[in-house]
Structure 1
Amino acid sequence: MLDGIFAFILLDTANMRDFIGRDTYGVGPLFKLITDDGFLAVCSEGKGFLEIKTSMSTPAKITPFPPGHFEVFDLKLTGKVQSLQMDRFHCCTEELKHASFNNLEGLGTGFELETVKSNIRILFEDAVKKRLMAHRRIGCLLSGGLDSSLVAATLVKLAKEEQLQYCIQMFSIGAEDSPDAVAARKVAAHIKSEHHEVNFTPEEAIRVLEDVIFHLESYDITTVCASVEMYLISKYIREKTDSVVLFSGEGLDELTQGYFHKDGVEKHLLRESFKDLNLIPDEILWRKEAFSDGMTSQKKPWYISLQEHIESEVNDSQLENASKLFPFNPPTTKVGFFIIRQIFEKYYPGRSEWTPHYWMPRWIKATDPSARTLSIYKPDKDQ
């Protein structure tokens, strides 16, 4: 799904039914809380439930709603509910249910490669076009990778067609010599946009680590490391510019396993895509490093600074006891996992199931998800 609703709650008052659903790929978070005596609460963030008081002797369970599912409740006159049905409304090998209601010209059906590629182009342009708002200044996060570059180029093209009366602003973040920063400059110059570069130090990144984990509600190292930069650039945009609507290429690599396309690993890519998100075509662009790597310096990447910080905070004996402290998804290294997990537990004790697993390449022996630590990684000059 390139475009659509992240979550929905429908109330059928005629039949006293309540419907809850979450988007196909899990892009938008959704949590539910249901007490043992039948009261239901729904929120896009788990932290929204933490102060809720109930008559239960033990805290009510807060659970993430599974993506691509819906749940039907019988709504009682007392305001209490009873779950009647929990079911999946979409499988990644099936065509999206809403496709038959889409009136975009040229959309095809089926999974033939040319049809899929044509549909992606049509839906992609439509998703960008419908978010053009002449009365709200628009900006775009530009990493220099294929995804954000496509969004940026399409945005500038459509903005000209719609005759927006201002230049689209592009924003990138990273060290001056980072691969992403260099690529973003080239893209911004090519599409003739107003470009802003945000620089940060490892010390600044470490200072906001706790805030980022609090807002993310996750202790996954990949998610946290990438989100630190997103947090810093978002903060800059809010404080220093007048852009209020932001476009981004985030999510496509995660949808298509685009970071790691390499001979001999296709079966792993396919398995990961089936398990996490969506069926992918055979032709994938391989981006060898994620946003959190690409925007850091080749001389001293962000993950090295994080390692050094953690070495000063965590000793070997603490790590040896990690599985006792955290039996669910126990941290296995000092490299981000342990201290990040401690921060998470500070704000969300007993909520470790909110992160079902650590993202980690399963087709290669790895203890750190940073692409620059993997044996297949080569600097740009060697590619």
Structure 2
Amino acid sequence: MCGILAVFGAVDDAILSRATAASERLTHRGPDGHGRHYLPGVGALLHRRLSIMDPASGRQPLFGRDGAAVVHNGEIYNHAALRAGLQAAGRVFRTGSDSEVLAHLFEAQGDAFVDKLDGVFALAALRDDDWLVARDPIGVKPLYYGRDRAGNLWFASELKVLAGECEWFEVFPPGHVYTRRGGLRRWYERTWLEGQADYRRDAAGLRERFEAAVDKRLMSDVPLGVLLSGGLDSSLVAALAARLARRRDPDARLMSFAIGVDGDSPDLRAARDVAAFVGTDHHEVRLDLDEGVAALRDIVWHTESYDIPTVRASIPMYCLSRYIKDQGVKVVLSGEGSDEVFGGYLYFYFAEGEEAFFRETVERVKNLHLSDVLRADKSTMAHGVEARVPFLDLAFLDLAMTIDPALKRPLRAEPGREARMEKALLRAAFADPADPLLPPAVLWRQKEQFSDGVGYGWVERLKAHAEATVSDLHLAEAGRRFPHETPTTKEGYLYRSLFAELFPGEHAARCVRRWVPRWQADADSSGRANPLHNSAVREDRQAARKAR
């Protein structure tokens, strides 16, 4: 939902003009309108709107009773309860937008209101000579900040806004707030985020909390759908969303969307089965390999990343989102976050003990705003579609991230020890034979990374394109051109080169973090590079038979 830009400091008409022009780079995030609020010498708030809640009157900036203005990208899921409390204190609301509560809360409580929010957000508020900027705990909504030559602070939803305006810029850290008088501080505190936890010895309540997480994300005044890859995570989201939508309206038929290279791709086959089982209005899109390769530059521009798995997976999501927009759908639910929370990637089988497993899950969750969550937001918002991620619901995380890692860690079969499938705990929570939510073949389907599941030819096509585009000499000299995060493959060099052309300078490069699987001999991020992947096992067996 939307794109924001805030500038604070000695802001004058010239700075406002620059900021207004820079905000045009966020038009894709908010094609439904724009607005701004300006206090000379203090700051300016600018907004690009994707209208989801109260489309008729929810245009931003929104204002409180005493003149505070706010711009917000995201959703506040407990806005009704917050609104009721404010109304009981005598405050009057002008819109039905969830964002309006933020202006009133800022007036009433200052920066203390941030930890009352249940939702996802990047927000900026301004009142008189006071202001604040805040980001949600996991960084589901993107935010960057920097300082220009005149000393003004800039905050924006995307890197491309700051790259031409600021002397330095970086990622605004999740779970932090920046105030005029207090500077930057962390507001979201959890022991599990620091790699410590008083472990729960069971997973009681896991299903109920996840159902609640999905339910609250059905909040929308515009058409809503689900991304359905046919993997466990998106299938659970789709099944619950379809069921909960029918409880609200027995005639509701949720739209689901899947993409693959051809009709026989792993994801399309599984998604088809799930859609038939849960009763969604299902749509399939074919990924044309040449079209996908041709979109590389656009993808790097929109995702603002050169990370290999991010680029690989963003292109199918980008192409699918374009189709979703054409169907009139503005909001989709998605399954990101589950693999980080439950250790679902195949490399987790090789974790060196339970504590190492736990620390790696924490590290992955803490950096989701630089990987899968970034991809989900930016590749969908490139077409004005908002992705919501129930696996990163805060109440759900507080339970799931404190379950004993001995119950979550996947295990390979060894003498005296049975194998345990990845995400077995999550699968078991929804394996009720009296009330089946998914087909068993999907509930127990092996993890398939999105860039693989769309069709195994996709990653090979990208590698072949890189091989034909990048010379051996260029790769050999990569360290000179890219001393920070030097690419080690031609595919990595290709993406890094595109990024450098679009976002020159080391400040931009340092806003990206490469995703690398641990405990895996093959550093390729594809799940198929793991020896436990079904296709890898089949290929090994086939090779062994040929050798005999």
Instruction: Give the one of 61, 70, 75 matched to 2:177.
Output: 70
Deviation of the 1:121 alpha carbon = 3.2
* CA distance in 1: counterparts of 2:217 and 2:190, whole angstroms: 27
Deviation of the 1:294 alpha carbon = 1.4
> Which residue pairs with 2:5 in the alignment?
none
Answer whether contact 1:256 1:280 (CA < 8 A) is retained.
no
Answer whether contact 1:172 1:197 (CA < 8 A) is retained.
yes
Residues 374, 305 of structure 1: CA spacing in aligned structure 2 closer, same or farther, 3 A cutoff?
same
> Which residue pairs with 1:121 in the alignment?
207
* CA distance in 2: counterparts of 1:267 and 1:176, whole angstroms: 42
Partner SS, residue 143 of structure 1: coil
* CA distance in 2: counterparts of 1:152 and 1:187, whole angstroms: 8
Question: TM-score when scaled to structure 1?
Answer: 0.81
What letter is aligned with 1:352? A
Deviation of the 1:180 alpha carbon = 1.4
- Matches for 1:1-383 after TM superposition, within 5 Å: 4-11=119-126, 13=128, 16-35=129-148, 37-52=150-165, 59-74=166-181, 84-87=183-186, 89-93=188-192, 111-114=199-202, 117-118=204-205, 120-132=206-218, 136-163=222-249, 165-174=251-260, 175-239=262-326, 241-260=327-346, 261-262=348-349, 264-265=351-352, 266-277=354-365, 279=401, 281=403, 282=405, 283=408, 285-286=422-423, 287-297=446-456, 301-334=457-490, 336-350=491-505, 351-355=508-512, 357-379=513-535
Deviation of the 1:38 alpha carbon = 3.3
Partner SS, residue 379 of structure 1: helix
* CA distance in 2: counterparts of 1:84 and 1:201, whole angstroms: 48
Answer whether contact 1:333 1:367 (CA < 8 A) is retained.
no
* CA distance in 1: counterparts of 2:224 and 2:469, whole angstroms: 41
Answer whether contact 1:360 1:366 (CA < 8 A) is retained.
no
Question: TM-score when scaled to structure 2?
Answer: 0.58
* CA distance in 1: counterparts of 2:460 and 2:240, whole angstroms: 35
Answer whether contact 1:273 1:280 (CA < 8 A) is retained.
no
> Which residue pairs with 1:105 in the alignment?
none
* CA distance in 2: counterparts of 1:188 and 1:31, whole angstroms: 38
Answer whether contact 2:350 2:519 (CA < 8 A) is retained.
no
Residues 292, 125 of structure 1: CA spacing in aligned structure 2 closer, same or farther, 3 A cutoff?
same
Partner SS, residue 237 of structure 2: helix
Mark the runs of 5 or more structure 2 residues left unpaired by the alignment. Answer: 1-76, 78-117, 367-400, 410-421, 424-445, 542-548
Mark the runs of 5 or more structure 1 residues left unpaired by the alignment. Answer: 53-58, 75-82, 96-109
Partner SS, residue 5 of structure 1: strand
Partner SS, residue 124 of structure 1: helix
* CA distance in 2: counterparts of 1:315 and 1:94, whole angstroms: 43
* CA distance in 2: counterparts of 1:277 and 1:92, whole angstroms: 13
Answer whether contact 1:289 1:370 (CA < 8 A) is retained.
no
Task: Compute the RMSD of aligned alpha carbons.
Answer: 2.8
Residues 85, 359 of structure 1: CA spacing in aligned structure 2 closer, same or farther, 3 A cutoff?
closer
Q: Which stretch shows the higher mean deviation, 36-45 or 314-323?
A: 36-45
Partner SS, residue 523 of structure 2: coil
Deviation of the 1:256 alpha carbon = 3.5
Q: Which stretch shows the higher mean deviation, 216-225 or 191-200?
A: 191-200
Answer whether contact 1:128 1:155 (CA < 8 A) is retained.
yes
What letter is aligned with 1:192? G
Partner SS, residue 262 of structure 1: helix
Deviation of the 1:291 alpha carbon = 0.8
Deviation of the 1:364 alpha carbon = 1.5
TM-superposition CA deviations, 1:63-89 (whole Å, max 9, x none): 111122233322xxxxxxxx6443353
* CA distance in 2: counterparts of 1:342 and 1:7, whole angstroms: 30
Q: Which stretch shows the higher mean deviation, 176-185 or 212-221?
A: 176-185
Partner SS, residue 277 of structure 1: helix
Answer whether contact 2:259 2:454 (CA < 8 A) is retained.
yes
Deviation of the 1:304 alpha carbon = 0.8
What letter is aligned with 1:344? F
**What is the percentage of aligned positions where both structures have the same residue?**
36
Deviation of the 1:314 alpha carbon = 0.7
TM-superposition CA deviations, 1:325-361 (whole Å, max 9, x none): 0111000111x20101111111100110010x31111
TM-superposition CA deviations, 1:41-96 (whole Å, max 9, x none): 111111112343xxxxxx5111111122233322xxxxxxxx6443353245269x
Residues 206, 25 of structure 1: CA spacing in aligned structure 2 closer, same or farther, 3 A cutoff?
same
* CA distance in 2: counterparts of 1:94 and 1:339, whole angstroms: 34
* CA distance in 2: counterparts of 1:67 and 1:209, whole angstroms: 28
Residues 250, 134 of structure 1: CA spacing in aligned structure 2 closer, same or farther, 3 A cutoff?
closer
* CA distance in 1: counterparts of 2:121 and 2:478, whole angstroms: 35
* CA distance in 2: counterparts of 1:164 and 1:33, whole angstroms: 49
Deviation of the 1:135 alpha carbon = 5.0
Q: Which stretch shows the higher mean deviation, 185-194 or 64-73?
A: 64-73
Q: Which stretch shows the higher mean deviation, 161-170 or 311-320?
A: 161-170
Deviation of the 1:195 alpha carbon = 1.2
Answer whether contact 1:22 1:68 (CA < 8 A) is retained.
yes
Provide the aligned length of Structure 1 versus Structure 2.
345
